[in-house]
Homo-oligomer: A and B are copies of this chain.
Amino acid sequence: MKKPFKYALQKLEREKVFRDPVHDYIHIQDRVILDLIDTSEFQRLRRIKQLGTSSYTFHGAEHTRFNHSLGVYEITRRIVSNFTRNYPSVSEHDGLWDTNERLLVLCAALLHDIGHGPFSHTFEGIFNTDHEQLTQAIITSPETEINQVLQGVSDDFPELVASVINKTYANKQVVQLISSQIDADRMDYLLRDAYYAGVSYGTFDLTRILRVIRPYNHQIAFDYSGMHAVEDYVVSRYQMYMQVYFHPVSRGMEQILQSLFARAKFCYLSDDIEMKYPAGLLKPFLEGTWTLKDYLRLDDHVMSSYFTHWLAEDDSILVDLAYRFLNRKPFKSILVTPDELVQLKTALNNELVAAGYDADYYFGENSSYDLPYDYYRPYNTSNKTQIELVTKTNQVVELAQVSPLVNALAGKVRGDHRLYFPKELLRRLEATAAPDLNEDQIMILAAYVTEHNDVTHHIQQRLF
């Protein structure tokens, strides 16, 4: 299945480089990569933040998906360049690197996030978009510039790129470079998010990992000698989730965003509420008639501009939520255990209603869980999940078997479940007896305000 890549031959006369704070330089060697970067769909990623609401907690983290996509491309390029030099396949059965895959994997790396829109996860919940499907559509639909560029390689090239991203491509090595427990995507975002947030937790020894990553038996594996670098990567990933990605304050901003989207939808669709500002680019989404073209017009800037306009609307809930989001007034939260979930939800809702809040918009429930490291799953033979090490004598060992740190994290989901509500509720709780809460619960919530010394450690940990 050796395809002729006509475009592939179009190497740039002179390699171009982009300065990058994480990788020093991004190296562009192919005309098709440069042309993809120049498309309007890719340039649009400059207007979509990588970390959504996290920059409200870590103010340095204002970087975009454009920035990250270039990074994933660059890491992939370095890996492939290493594979080509050191592990080129010479027969169909050696399980090594098929050098013909180079351009395909580079394009897939660059475009893996192309379907993301503004505040993807929250937006999708309200407007029924799906960034993974949209990634496929942007690559395969003839109406995009990206598709046109990819067609220049070969007629079936867009479909091939799309299949790598959705993991159906036959060569698993190509897929695993982009999507696995230690892929170019994750390696870039850990380093990049740590760099921009200004935290040290996300750092690991990329140079070392790039030395020990290798094709092996039709899969991606790592030299055993790099075990500690890979272990360090898993630990870093865990720490970034616990300390940055799951930060309760960022999630408090996300809750506001979700309520804001929901209320805007409600207002536009309601016959009773007159909106001053036209629905404009949002209209097809409110009406459920959106097309790919409509989707590609959206970005963080467009959404933020709507928020600013909504400040002048008449609906007080819409105005309030827009103000809270634009001016960083996150909902506060309390961590809940499964046992007390139902009771505490009811109590909080009652309190909100008593205080005059519409609980549909002023109460939120947020679960953030991650599986820091996944074991091998015997029932799922098609998709390898574990990280494998290859010894000098060509034995394969699974990472958690030799790393006590990884073993401690393996197979267990980590994270928490929180209930969100406006900070103002706390003041009220302090002032009045809340009939539906027991003493313990009032104490938990009131601890924000009063900072009493008599709440137990267990309680103290739960507040944010």
Contacts and interface: CB of A to CB of B under 8 A. Distances in A.
Interface of A: 17-22, 24-25, 38-40, 43-44, 46-47, 55, 58-60, 62-64, 66-67, 70, 195-201, 203-205, 207, 211, 224, 228, 231-232, 235, 238-239, 242-243, 277-278, 280-281, 297, 299-302, 304-306, 308-309, 311, 323, 326-328, 391-397, 402, 404-405, 407-409, 412, 414, 447, 451-457, 459-461
Nearest to A461: B391
Contacts of A66: 59
A18 to B, nearest CB: 6
B59 A67 contact: yes
One complex includes copies of this chain to the number of 4
Contacts of A204: 200
11 contacts: A25-B207, A39-B327, A40-B323, A43-B327, A224-B461, A228-B242, A391-B457, A392-B451, A393-B456, A395-B457, A404-B414
Contact of A301 (B201, B224, B304, B414): B304
Q: Which 8 A-B pairs have the closest CB atoms?
A: A408-B408, A21-B198, A395-B457, A305-B305, A301-B304, A301-B301, A21-B60, A391-B460
Nearest to A26: B59
Given A19-B60, A64-B62, A67-B60, A404 B393 contact: no
B232 A228 contact: no
A59 B55 contact: no
A58 B19 contact: yes
A235 B405 contact: yes
Nearest to A280: B309
Contacts of A460: 224, 391-393, 395
Nearest to A228: B243
Contacts of A404: 408-409, 412, 414
Given A38-B327, A62-B67, A224-B460, 15 more contacts: A18-B59, A20-B198, A40-B323, A40-B326, A43-B326, A44-B326, A203-B203, A281-B308, A297-B308, A302-B304, A305-B305, A391-B460, A393-B454, A394-B453, A405-B405
A392 B211 CA distance: 34
